[in-house]
Structure 1
Amino acid sequence: MNNFEISSYLINYDKNKNTGTCKSCKKNVQWAKDRVAAHKRSSCSSATEEEKRFFSKRRSESSIQSNQQISNSVETSAITEEFQNKIDIKLANFFFRTGISLRIVESEVFKELVKELNPSYKLPCTKKLSGAFLDKQFSKCSTVLDEILEYSKNLTLVSDGWTNTRGDHIVNFCIKAPEQKPFFYTSINTSGIIQKAEAVADAIFEVIESLGSQKFCAFVSDNAPVMKAVWKLIETKYPNISAYGCAAHAVNLLIKDIANTTESSKTIKNAEKIIKFVKNHHIVKAKFDEKRLAASIPHTLSLPVPTRWYSLYNSMNELHTMKYVMIQLVDEEGDLMKEIQPKTTSAAVCTLIKTNSFWDCLLKLVKDIEHPSKIIGKLEADDAPLSSVYKYFGDLYNHYENEPIIQEKVKKRLEFLFSSCVGLSYILTPIYAAEGFFFDEDKTDFISTISEYAKKNHPLIADKVENELISFIAEMTSLPQKRKDVIFKMTAEKFWNIVGRDKYPVLFQVSYPIAQMISSSAIAERTWSTFKFIHSRLRNRLTNERVKKLVFLYTNSILTDTLDKNDYILEDGAVLNEIDYEELNE
């Protein structure tokens, strides 16, 4: 580092004030090297370019030297074992909470970063992260959730299946406790199990028994044909557990039913032909995006996901909103488009875009599937009550009052999905008991069902529960308007906990668990997003047991973390639509 004499730049030293006068600009400056340097760099109006460069260089060298001194100081002071362990835990949580690859700790870039932050900290290896650290954090998180489960009743067990990147068939189990966010409980590899009702039920029994069957009130799964038999086996073995299918899944299949008509199938095929043509030819897509953005349309085209029929609405609706962009594209770029090989396909797409009847059919399809598509989102909410199932199917039936064929499809899907708890959860909700829609003689049937339902769990009160249900319905039907404004805004769970507990004590014993049941298995399906992100094709050597622990920590840390509630995987785009789900069966 270059040294300099203060007297070379200042004169007239004042001993009392410790100041001098700048030889160049005649300003008073403190008689100190750093003050002289700062003055020459920025304040001296008469400083030469050479002086400015000299003092700027000196500042840079001083900064480097200072940093080196700090670094050397840190490096020479070893950290304590307690501090090492504390950083280890924070580092492990960083990996487990974000779901990123543990092998990053072996990256030279990551090592350099950590060394710069604290050279004395010793990074753990990947093996330690995926072994001792993972097991320790898994045990810690499990303990927290076990405490929640210990004091919770009326749990709902939710399950769904998936084939992982290695081709293993994995079944996951999530649990929804009242007034708690749902959480991932465990997963099992069922690759060696024949998917027959008895074998599937045995796997479910194992999970139920691990916590105690009396803690559960419901089991929810998808609507595959084998599951209907499984539901019966569960209810036979555990009379206190109601087993039923996912309502969101059922509405998905209803959309499929609507889309499977001859006219709809043809419209979808033509729409997909247009979408693929635009997306698969970069020149066409560039011209299309230019016109789309000029029309202030932010979203682009997307193809429907084969096993997620609500995505059909998104895809078809997006195309329809771009009708005039498409027509403009053909009008202005038609010659370019028709030159794309094979020319027969290009010409057919251009003709299709200019055909009014296609757009009319597309609009009808969009209108036909819009209502059920929006209902799916409501049913997939974590806290969507079971009572909403019958309600939304009633809404669907009334929505298609001029479409008797679709109405029959609605009834058919509800019949497959229906169980006694679906009907009872509906009639036990104050507003539905008084003003709800009922198919045919369902209201009478639900009333008579309550006694049979009570016999399974509360045989001593079974003969009294029907009378209290009749009294409850009569009261809800005759409420004065002022009371309606209060009572009808209550959920079934809230009503039975606050009002019904004392007013209808017998009926309460049956109704309260039913009021806490949920409508879909969406929470289990969403878990596959995390599975796919963590057990990706690039990380296919992870064992199923290790994947389970990583998913467990990622999913459940969101619930227990008081500082960070972000779901980084879903926010980063690993959404349900991108998952290669198994085909949904009718």
Structure 2
Amino acid sequence: MPRLQSGVWKHFTPAIKDGRESVMCNYCAKTYTKNATKMQVHLDKCKEYSVVSQQSPGPDGSSAASIPVPSFSYLPSANPGGQFLIDSVDQRSQAYADECLARAVYATSSPLTLTDNIYWKRFFSVLRPAYCPPTTEALSSNLLDCEYDRVQNQVHEAIGKSDSVTIVCSGFSNMKETGTIVYVVATPAPLFYKCTKTKEQTHSSTFIIEELKEIINEVGPQKVFAVITDDAPEMMTVWTQVEEAFPHILAIGCTACGIQQLFDDIVAQPSVKALCRRAEQVVRHVKEKKLLAETFRCWQTTKRRSNTPNGTTLALPTSSGWSGVLNMFNSLLEGQSSLQEMAVSPTLNVDASIRATLQDSTFWKGLMSSHNLLYLIGNSIDYMKREDAVLSGVVDMFSQLRYHIGASLSGSVLHSAEQKAVLTSLDRCQEFCVKPIHAAAYMLDPKYVGQQTLSGEQINSAYYVITNLSHHLNLDEGKVLGSFARFSAKQGLWKGAGIWSSCQHVSASTWWKGLCSSEPLSAIASAILQIPPTAGACERLWSRFCSTKIEGSFTADRAQKLVAVQANLNLLEPSDCDFAPLESEEERKVSFQSETQ
């Protein structure tokens, strides 16, 4: 078929004439036999087709793409007696549709190959036959660039409107592996700000300090109240120099990172390591022997519990973080009855060493006590990583953590020297995680008023933070401390019971801003209580950045832009201009009438 005729079929609709297969022109309704040459000759002479093909340019100077569409029951017809609607999309509408589609793809983390899928193509053709969706290449290049620039402008606008922000950064611990550092600006919503790709020679505290200073100056030093980092060794120097350069900014460590180190220290104790080895040997032995694995599965299925409806599956500590060891311990404890029955079964070939372990009550007692101790710490890590975790909760969490760890150690597998090592690690963890700003947040959170458990030294350090910030905000120090005294004593504004019950329904920073804005202490309290306790937002973005780069084979720059758009679109409120029509309603009516006449 000649090249000129290759697209002729779209201008005709299949029809039946005199019992024979025919085609009908979509413009003049004349019928012909199915012959490409005759069909092309007809199009060359068809006056109605000539009018459509020579359609005048659109309002933006672009030619409109027109495609004839059969008027099924769900499509409007050109006129009451007509059979076809001529659908068209000008360049302006095409560009706007591409922008909206790209934004939806990015916001939902949908694959960029979505528009190449035949089912999506059919869906788009039903919605708007003349619309041609963007290619994967367009979604990952020019459309992504435009959306990234637009979203970043919104990020800077949101930062500009905020009266208190925190710089959160993470990735220093992984720099030698990935060379990637993620920076988030919490407003308090954790907005992705930038991602730095470093080189081997830049792995130093000097590079990190300069990066943080640059970001602080870009954001505006006057509204930055804290910097949060992970627990990399370089951080101690970074904290000192940031606080020297900006005296009102407090540098603190990620609470989740500190508690994770405590968890790792406990697992590294010889007694716990030995217990983990024995537990792993049991799991591997049962999983690797087909008969044992099948027997365990069957027995667990017949002994289902309400909390394990599908039975227990023995797990090896393959996952990262704290959950791997806990999953293994938990699977053994849930399958303890079946495992012990297998150990005494004369028909099952269980190795003597594994049989001895399964019949050892000390092993199971140690497994239970270690599981409870490690679960307590692991649960604290997860609690601190939650999006609703607050800075004031760190002090209360450590108070409870210290109490429960002390009670758990006495019945654990740890020897006396190991117990002392764990308590030393706990002290080190608390020193890293709890700073004067945490004490100030605890004292200013209305949920903890009357439950003060701080030492005199911590209370004095909290007063220093409040005084320092009052100077930074040009507030009268005496009035601020007087306001704090009335708050602590529940006098003046805080005398009634209603205002205290309200703090259970809103965040502490909103409570201070909304109900206590007339008090001199309000600006300081709301700023402190907006500071997040961890670098969890960075960790989540860093993981997404790595997976995006691997799954899509993106460059670092492409991956950064995609992650930034995906993350920030779901945090920023859509502006009215995102949904603004391309033209007024009256213009649309006139345009529609002109297209259908």
1:426 aligns with 2:442: yes
> What secondary structure sits across from 1:102 in the alignment?
coil
- TM-superposed deviation, 1:484: 9.3
Which of 328, 333, 338 is the aligned partner of 1:320? 333
* Distance change (3 Å), C-alpha of 1:110 and 1:282: farther
Of residues 388-397 and 153-162 in structure 1, the stretch that sits farther from structure 2 once superposed is 153-162
Which of 208, 211, 235 pairs up with 1:203?
A: 211
Q: Contact between 1:104 and 1:110, CA under 8 Å: does it hold in 2?
A: yes
1:125 aligned to 2:135? yes
Question: In the alignment, is the contact (CA less than 8 A) between 2:439 and 2:459 conserved in 1?
Answer: no
Give CA-to-partner distance per residue, 1:48-106, whole Å, 9 cap, x none.
xxxxxxxxxxxxxxxx9x99x99xx8898554434433442344235423435535655
Q: CA deviation at 1:529?
A: 3.2
Match of residue 464 from structure 2 = 449
Correspondence for 2:265 among 243, 249, 257: 257
Q: Deviation of residue 304 (structure 1)?
A: 3.6
Q: Kindly tell me: are residues 141 and 333 of structure 1, through their superposed partners in 2, closer, same or farther at Cα, counting changes over 3 Å? A: farther
Out of 469, 473, 482, the position equivalent to 2:488 is 473
Change in CA separation of 1:234 and 1:211 when aligned onto 2, cut-off 3 Å: same
Residue 138 (1) aligns with residue 131 (2)? no
- Taking the aligned partners of 2:500 and 2:162, their CA distance within structure 1 comes to 31
CA distance in 1, matches of 2:216, 2:335: 50
- Give, as a single letter, the amino acid of the residue that structure 1 aligns with 2:165: L
Deviating more after overlay: 428-437 vs 220-229: 428-437
Secondary structure, aligned partner of 1:335: coil
Amino acid at match of 1:409: S
Counting only pairs closer than 5 Å after superposition, residues 36-55 of structure 1 correspond to structure 2 as none
Whether 1:512 and 2:526 are equivalent positions in the alignment is yes
Q: Return the offset for 1:113.
A: 7.0
Which residue, out of 149, 165, 169, partners 2:179? 169
CA distance in 2: counterparts of 1:308 and 1:334, whole angstroms: 39
Q: CA deviation at 1:144?
A: 2.9
> Paired residue for 2:425, among 392, 397, 409?
409
Retained in 2: the 8 A contact 1:386–1:518?
Answer: yes
5+ residue gaps, structure 1, are: 5-63, 339-345, 564-586
Question: TM-score by structure 2 length?
Answer: 0.70
Quick one: distance in 1 between partners of 2:127 and 2:465?
A: 66
Instruction: Name the SS of the counterpart of 1:302 in structure 2.
Output: coil
SS at match of 2:450: helix
Give the structure 2 partner of residue 224 of structure 1. Answer: 232
**Could you tell me which residue of structure 2 aligns to residue 40 of structure 1?**
none
**Residues 221/282 of structure 1: CA separation in 2 closer, same or farther (3 Å cut):** farther
**Kindly tell me: are residues 534 and 222 of structure 1, through their superposed partners in 2, closer, same or farther at Cα, counting changes over 3 Å?**
same
Could you tell me which residue of structure 2 aligns to residue 33 of structure 1?
none
**Matched residues in 2 for 1:228 and 1:124: separation?**
49
How many residues align? The count is 485
**Equivalent residue of 2:252, what SS?**
strand
Q: Distance in 2 between matches of 1:455 and 1:117?
A: 59
Residue of 367, 376, 392 corresponding to 1:371: 376
**Structure 2 CA distance for partners of 1:91 and 1:481, relative to 1, 3 Å:** closer
Q: Which residue matches 1:289?
A: 297
Asked if 2 retains the 8 angstrom alpha-carbon contact of 1:163 and 1:170, the reply is: no
> Does the CA contact (< 8 Å) of 1:450 and 1:465 recur in 2?
no
Residue 291 of structure 2 is aligned to residue 266 of structure 1: no
Q: 2:67 aligns to what?
A: none
SS in structure 1 opposite 2:237?
Answer: helix
- Quote the residue 1:22 is aligned against: none
Instruction: Single out whichever of 444-453 and 106-115 deviates more from structure 2.
Output: 106-115
Take 1:124 and 1:545, find their aligned partners in 2: how far apart are those partners?
A: 21
Aligned residue in 1 for 2:362: 357
Q: Which amino acid aligns with 2:396?
A: K
Q: Does 2:284 align with 1:276?
A: yes
Match of 1:579 in 2: none
Give the 3 Å change call, closer, same or farther, for CA 502–109 of structure 1 in structure 2. Answer: closer
Per-residue CA deviations over 1:120-165 (Å, capped at 9, x if unaligned) read 4434333322221111222222233333222112112211117999
Cα pair distance change 1:461/1:485, threshold 3 Å = closer
Say whether the 8 Å CA contact 2:513–2:526 is kept in structure 1.
yes
Pick one of 93, 96, 105 that aligns with 2:103.
93
User: Could you tell me how far apart the structure 2 residues matched to 1:76 and 1:165 are?
Assistant: 58
Superposition deviation, residue 309 in structure 1: 2.3
- Alignment correspondent of 1:383: 388
Tell me, what secondary structure is at the counterpart of 1:370?
helix
Matches within 5 A, 1:20-31: none
User: 2:159 — aligned with what?
Assistant: 149
Q: Distance in 1 between matches of 2:136 and 2:93?
A: 20
Q: Assess, with a 3 A threshold, how the Cα gap between structure 1 residues 78 and 317 changes in structure 2: closer, same or farther.
A: same
CA distance in 2, matches of 1:111, 1:447: 61
2:233 alignment partner AA: P
Question: C-alpha distance in 2, partners of 1:553/1:516?
Answer: 24
1:551 aligned residue: 563
SS in 1 for 2:163: coil
Distance 2:466 2:366 in 1: 49
What secondary structure does 1:175 align onto? strand
- Which residue pairs with 2:315 in the alignment? 302
CA distance in 1, matches of 2:403, 2:317: 27
488-497 or 132-141, which deviates more = 488-497
**Do the aligned partners of residues 259 and 166 (structure 1) sit closer, same or farther apart at CA in structure 2, a change above 3 Å counting?**
closer
Q: Compared with structure 1, are the counterparts of its residues 360 and 99 closer, same or farther at alpha carbon in structure 2 (3 Å cutoff)? A: same
Amino acid at match of 1:512: S
2:333 partner amino acid: H
How far apart are the structure 1 equivalents of 2:127 and 2:287? 46
**Which SS does the other structure have where 2:348 is aligned?**
helix
Distance (Å, rounded) in 2 between the aligned partners of 1:362 and 1:174: 40
Structure 2: how far apart are the matches of 1:562 and 1:454?
33
CA apart distance, 1:463: 6.2
Residue by residue over 1:514-544, the C-alpha shift from the partner in whole angstroms, topping out at 9 and shown as x without a partner, is 12211111111111332233112x533x211
Q: CA deviation at 1:331?
A: 4.7
In the superposition, the TM-score normalised over structure 1's length comes to 0.71
State yes or no: 1:526 paired with 2:531.
no
| Closer, same or farther: CA 123–515 of 1 in aligned 2, 3 Å | closer
> What secondary structure sits across from 2:203 in the alignment?
coil
- Per-residue CA deviation, residues 391-447 of structure 1 (Å, 9 max, x unaligned), is 1111111223444734443222111223221221122234535222235x4355335
Cα distance in 2, alignment partners of residues 185 and 165 from structure 1: 18
1:259-302 CA deviation, whole Å, 9 max, x = no partner? 23222121122222233344455654444333333333246343
Question: One-letter code of the match for 1:473?
Answer: S
* Distance of aligned partners of 1:77 and 1:428 in 2 relative to their CA distance in 1, 3 Å threshold: closer
Identical aligned pairs, as a percentage?
22
> Structure 1, residues 189-230: CA drift from partner, whole Å, max 9, x if none?
023453322211112222222222223212111112211221
Distance in 1, matches of 2:174 and 2:97, equals 33
